[in-house]
């Protein structure tokens, strides 16, 4: 099982969100899967990123709400959370 690490930027992004119960439930389930080295469901659209975010991955909680993350040294590191326009300005 991986350990969880949330960056300061992630925590700032998270405080600005007003997630519905449905989105929060998916957030918890998807993080649980990643922490246990399990594959995310296809609906999460999990994929690697390019450009400034090379080496990172993103998955969708729902619609345009997504999480940028990486896995290194036994940690699931949550980098950003928000919409495409908020993260990839």
Which strand ranges, in their side-by-side order, compose the sheet holding 65-72? 3-6, 75-82, 65-72, 57-62, 47-48
Instruction: Domains for the chain: give ranges and CATH numbers.
Output: 3-87 (3.30.2310.20)
Taking only the tens place, the pLDDT of each residue in 1-20 is 999 999 999 999 999 998 99
Nearest alpha-carbon partner for 65 in 33, 22, 35: 22
Cα 3–Cα 8–Cα 10 angle in degrees, nearest 5: 75
Taking only the tens place, the pLDDT of each residue in 27-79 is 999 999 999 999 999 999 999 999 889 999 999 998 889 999 999 999 999 99
- Fill in the DSSP letter of residue 56: -
Task: Say yes or no to pLDDT of 89 above 90.
Answer: no
């Amino acid at each position: 099982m991986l350990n969880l690490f949330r960056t300061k930027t992630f925590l700032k992004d998270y405080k600005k969100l007003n997630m519905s119960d449905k989105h929060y439930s998916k957030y918890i389930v998807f993080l649980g899967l990643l922490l246990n080295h399990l594959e995310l469901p296809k609906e999460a659209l999990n994929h690697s990123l390019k450009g400034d975010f090379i080496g990172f991955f993103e998955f969708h909680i729902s619609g345009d709400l997504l999480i940028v993350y990486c896995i290194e040294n036994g940690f699931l590191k949550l980098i950003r959370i928000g919409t495409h326009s908020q993260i990839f300005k």
